[in-house]
Structure 1
Amino acid sequence: MTAQSDRNFSTDRIRREGASQETKRQTASWTTWEAVGPEPFEIHYDRPVSFFVAGGRAWIDFSDGTKLDIQSDDFVTITPDIRGVWNVIEPITNLYMYHDTKSGI
């Protein structure tokens, strides 16, 4: 699969965009998550989450058929009740926050 060259991507459940300087500032205090791969792993997003990709690269294959390429400087928001399989291509570091439907950036 080829990388999605336009960093802006959106479905009714998943949104990816390039992170602005303001987004990077706001996410700096969020929880850090790291994965080195190479084994794919599944996650169930049971509540809304947003994350900033501080470094690395991965693919997420979602249960709705969406395949999302993520890389450094992407900002991603995922709505609840969707599953995904992460495939880490390069060791990845994310700053993330779970939030209710009324919060976030």
Structure 2
Amino acid sequence: MSTILLSSSSAGFNYLSMALLVVMFGLMYFFMIRPQKKEQQQKEIMIKELEVGDSILTSAGFYGSVVDIQEDLVIVEFGNNRNCRIPMQKSAIVQVEKQDK
């Protein structure tokens, strides 16, 4: 008789642990995965709206202005002397500030 009680209580424990796993996965999705996807979508939109003349901040911390845009590269001009033009990947752009029109 004690084995029957033991097996019924272990079945309840299995349902409880399964429910806890589902709740933990749901919380992880809403606190980690969803915000990361949203941030990634915002960055993709920012890169698509990039135009020549926009001021940018790179992942290395350099400020520059966009001179030319190619498929997955941008030519960025750094400094006041206008001689420092460096090609870099679009993924290295962290922030874009639109030019005043």
TM-score, structure 2 normalization = 0.26
User: Which protein has the bigger strand share?
Assistant: 1
Work out which structure has the larger RCO, using CA pairs closer than 8 Å and 6 or more positions apart in sequence.
1
Higher helix share: 2
Higher-Rg structure is 2
